[in-house]
Amino acid sequence: MITPGWVRMMARYNAWQNRGLRRDVQALDAGEATRDRGAFFESILGTCNHLLRADEMWLSRLADGPEAPPGGIAESRNQTPDVAAWAARRKATNTAITRWAEALSDCDGDLPCSSGALGRDIARPMAVLLTHFFNRQTHHRGQIHAMLTATGVEPEDTDLPFMPEPA
Confidence of residue 141 (pLDDT cuts 50, 70, 90): very high
What would the mean pLDDT of 112-120 be, rounded to a whole number? 81
Look at phi and psi of residue 42 and say left if phi exceeds 0, alpha if psi is from -120 to 50, else beta: left
Alpha carbon separation from 88 to 32, 36, 64, 84 (Å, rounded):
19, 23, 22, 6
Query: Rounded mean pLDDT of 18-46?
Result: 94
- Given a cut of 90, whether residue 90 has pLDDT beyond it is yes
Mean pLDDT of 24-50: 94
What distance in Å separates the CA atoms of residue 105 and residue 57, rounded to the nearest whole number?
Answer: 21
Residues 6+ apart with CB under 8 A from 24: 148, 153, 155
pTM over 0.85: yes
